Structure 1
Amino acid sequence: MCEAFHHITMGLREFILEYFQGFWDYETPKVMVVKNTTLGVIYRSVQFLVITYFIWYVFISQKAYQESETRPESSVYTLMKGSAVHGDDILDTVEYARPSEGGDVISTILRREFTYNQMQGTCAEYFKVPNANCTKDSDCVEGEVDFNGHGRRTGRCVQYYNYTFKTCEIQTWCPIEEHAVVREPPLVEAVNFTVFIRNSIHFPKFKVLRGNVKDASNKREMQKFLQKCSYHEEKEPYCPNFRLSYIAEQARENFTELCRTGGVIGVFINWNCNLDLDPSHCKPKYSFRRLDLRKDLANSGYYYRFAKYYNKDGVESRTLIKAYGMRLDIIVHGHAGKFSPIPTIISTVTAMTSVGICTIICDWIMLTFIDKNEVYSERKFDEVIKEPTEPISTELSFINSYGSNHSDLSDGVPL
């Protein structure tokens, strides 16, 4: 066992020594010309593809010769425009826009549900609230608040309005919404409403400021243009007025369905600017996409509640309004690039270095698949070992020669 351990130790020592000595070896490429047409065609073809790819991807597609800026400063201002006849009422911006003017988020009401004449008091809880149904007072815990319900329980079990069953009584705004709600028809005229979106973007690195509104010689011409124009990608790319019907269409949404459930639409403004050209070529590109959960899910859509308060016979009352609408989230992205020598040099060196992959591929093919690959391998890899110097070998030869030829003289020489 000791002998086996000794052999293992010696083998490990030799391995470490060999690795340590090999670590200090120097490797240098060897130029070998291979007269093989097939290999030459493969080499030039791969070389051409690699160079073409880098020219197209790095310099044309990605514009790697440019210094870029991806965090611009942006400002957004929104305003809803339009009016609608709804029954006997005329609805203006104050009625259907929330807020009437805002920043990167604005919404418009498309359908409303009213609960009139609510007052603080006690009434029966909605029967679909968990544990709201009861048969006796002991089923209702006094002072308990169910956050899925509408108020605080009084401890009484009462008849659910004009129905035969009973639910727990609560202290809240009565009557509750689910029992007394009045649903209003959709505001179909909202399809012609417009939203004004003014966006300015600043690239501080390049000191470039751009806006999405067309430049005009004076204020009067500007106002005249904004009153009449409607955005069109080709005809009016600098008009900031967008019809809600156009936004819904571009987001591939049915406007009638949006009136029923509401929805959140993202308005994406993309500024992709090549500042090697004149800044006037820096134009916004708009895209639209539905952001909330899809309409076939139970919790999809967009709605919110608010109330209008008033005094009725000296008692504070309110009208609760549940509003379904289209909410617009304006999201701005910006990227600007301009020629700079430093990224150009880095990209060029990277492209030239990557051409070395052609040699690796062809070497692998040559040493693996082509005939006479063993001959190529012997010619490609050489190991140079340091030989003993010539003077030492000459001196040893002389001593050996002298000793053999003059051995008879050593007997007469005193030591």
Structure 2
Amino acid sequence: MGLREFIKEYFLSFWDYETPKVMVVKNRTLGVIYRGVQFLVITYFIWYVFISQKAYQESENRPESSVYTLMKGTAVHGDDILDTVEYAQPSEGGDVISTILRREVTYDQRHGTCAEYFKVANANCTTDSDCIKGEVDFDGHGRRTGKCIQYYNHTFKTCEIQTWCPIEEYAVVREPALVEAINFTVFIRNSIHFPRFKVLRGNIKDASNKRDMHRYLSRCRYDEDKEPYCPNFRLGYIADQARENFSELCRTGGVIGVFINWNCNLDLDPSYCKPTYSFRRLDLRKDQASSGYYYRFAKYYSKDGVETRTLIKAYGIRLDVIVHGHAGKFSPIPTIISTVTAMTSVGICTIICDWIMLTFIDKNEIYSERKFDEIIKEPPVPLPTELSYISSFGSNHSDLSDGVPL
């Protein structure tokens, strides 16, 4: 068959019409497979599509949410009494709040000149010519003066710089961890609004009056089973749920995500719409360069008429509150669409059984011949003319010319 004939045949067959043919196959094995596959498909759609995924509902996945956080607790650190202002940043916040667990403090820094830290690149020197005046190393602490001086009380020398002196690496004082922070509490207030369904919910238990509400919030601690509507979370509980060691967090700090999940079936009463919480470490512990959490801040004051500061490097836990919401309610349109899809998918049973019948079952050639028929339109048989009809009639009957039979 040449290319032209193949293209012609393909083009002509494109316009053929195919219609299903009903054929009853008396085969018990094939019948059991057919009904079994039907049962599995129907069961899958009823359980997964309608029960698990609730495909009969209209849904909303982008609610409006508000978060307010507050750290509570008091700790004794040496001779100092630390309150929220001392260890919480910010003391009142939105969806991010952090607490200080350990501090590294550099006291009484003043503007002046001093030796650069010896681990900074090209900071070590022997003569003034090794230090370029005015040069700034962005990994260092300040601008070089061009002098090579003794590194504090050591025998080697480094380049002199203009900066806050003494530098942090030399004069830092490492304080012990604030172990009492394990009992600090974080107040997390969250409200969520599903505008499509006009439903507004909060994560705090309702109370008859403000006095009862205040009494409840001052005493309760969150528990998934006993107190699901209490917004107070212990830092120790959060660390445990995130599978983190609190002592290790005190040493390196860390970022923990507090996930609030609202999965609401609004076919039920809105009171059944309540949050669930999960906790997970967010910073990459495998990457030592970026793991942990710390930040620096300074307290400025005047000492002997000179501006002075105390530099604090704070290690702690940062909590990122992340809210997810999904709500669904019955609607006829998705119900009809899902039902039609389920009914259409039952057709896969016929496809599977036809393949088995035409491939594996004995006498599959007979089944194939019976299943596929090709009908070609033939030209109509010409009707006999009146003359031929009379001739045929006269050859077998009496002559009717005079009306008298012979």
- Give the TM-score of the pair, scaled to structure 1: 0.91
Alignment of 1:18-167 (within 5 A): 18-167=9-158
1:406 alignment counterpart: none
Q: 1:359 & 1:135 partners in 2: Cα distance?
A: 89
Contact 2:72/2:187 (8 A) holds in 1: yes
User: Aligned-pair distance for 1:253?
Assistant: 0.6
Instruction: Check whether the contact 2:128–2:146 (CA below 8 A) recurs between aligned residues.
Output: yes
Alignment correspondent of 2:402:
none
| TM-aligned CA deviation for residue 131 of structure 1 | 1.8
Corresponding residue of 1:241: 232
Partner of 2:100: helix, strand, or coil? Answer: strand
Q: CA deviation at 1:295?
A: 6.7
The correspondence of residues 2-401 of structure 1 with structure 2, limited to 5 A, is 11-294=2-285, 297-391=288-382
The aligned residue for residue 410 of structure 1 is none
Question: Unpaired segments of 5 or more residues in structure 2?
Answer: 392-406
- Report the Cα offset of residue 110 of structure 1: 0.4
Contact 1:248–1:255 (CA under 8 A) maintained in structure 2: yes
> Where in structure 1 are there 5+ consecutive unaligned residues?
1-9, 402-415
2:38 and 2:322 map into 1 onto residues whose CA distance is 43
Distance in 2 between residues matched to 1:131 and 1:377, nearest whole Å? 86
| Partner secondary structure for residue 217 of structure 2 | helix
Paired letter, 1:328: L
Distance 1:123 1:167 in 2: 9
Following TM superposition, by how much is the alpha carbon of 1:15 offset from its aligned partner in structure 2, in angstroms?
1.9
1:7 match:
none
Q: Aligned partners of 2:251, 2:300: CA distance in 1, in Å?
A: 26
The alpha-carbon deviation at position 275 of structure 1 amounts to 0.2
1:315 deviation in Å?
1.0
Percent identity over paired residues: 86
2:283 and 2:290 in contact (8 A); partners too? no
Post-superposition offset of 1:310: 0.6
Q: How far apart in 2 are the matches of 1:147 and 1:373?
A: 81
SS at match of 2:2: helix
| Alpha-carbon separation, structure 2, partners of 1:353 and 1:363 | 17
CA distance in 2, matches of 1:142, 1:107: 41
CA distance in 1, matches of 2:112, 2:369: 100
Q: Separation in 2 of the partners of 1:46 and 1:163?
A: 84
Distance across 1 between alignment mates of 2:373 and 2:33: 26
The one-character-per-residue Cα deviations of 1:194-253 (angstroms, maximum 9, x if unpaired) are 000000000000000000001011111110111111111111111100010110111111
CA RMSD of aligned residues (A): 1.6
Per-residue CA distance 1:342-375 (angstroms, 9 max, x = gap)? 0000000001111111111111111111100111
AA matched with 2:81: I
Q: Which amino acid aligns with 1:151?
A: G
Relative distance call for 1:390 and 1:296 in structure 2 (3 A) is: closer
What's the TM-score once normalised by structure 2's chain length? 0.93
**How far apart, in 2, do the equivalents of 1:78 and 1:96 lie?**
14
Aligned to 2:394: none
Per the alignment, in what secondary structure is the counterpart of residue 14 of structure 1? helix
Deviation at 1:297, TM superposition (A): 2.6
Q: Could you tell me which amino acid in structure 2 is paired with residue 62 of structure 1?
A: Q
Q: What SS does the corresponding residue of 1:44 show, helix, strand or coil?
A: helix
- Report Cα offsets for 1:42-95 as digits up to 9, x if no partner: 111111111101111000100000000000000000000010111100000000
Q: Match of 1:382, as an amino acid? A: D
| Cα gap change, 1:295 to 1:241, in 2 (>3 Å) | farther
Choose 40-49 or 129-138, whichever is displaced more: 129-138
Q: For structure 1, which segment, 195-204 or 294-303, has the greater mean C-alpha deviation from structure 2 after superposition?
A: 294-303
Counterpart secondary structure, 2:196? coil
Question: How many residue pairs were aligned?
Answer: 388
Q: What secondary structure, in the 3-state scheme, does the structure 2 residue paired with 1:391 have?
A: coil
Work out whether residues 79 and 100 of structure 1, in 8 Å CA contact, stay in contact via their aligned partners in 2. yes
Q: Distance in 1 between matches of 2:120 and 2:265?
A: 58
The one-letter amino acid paired with 1:107 is S
Q: Match for 1:146: what amino acid?
A: D
| Counterpart amino acid of residue 133 in structure 1 | N
Q: Secondary structure at the match of 2:310?
A: strand
- d(CA) in 2 for partners of 1:316, 1:179: 20
Shift of 1:296: 7.5
Q: 2:142 and 2:376 mapped to 1: Cα distance?
A: 93
1:367-415 deviation line (CA, Å, top 9, x unaligned): 11110011111111111101011128x68xx7xx9xxxxxxxxxxxxxx
Stretches of 4+ aligned residues off by more than 3 angstroms: none
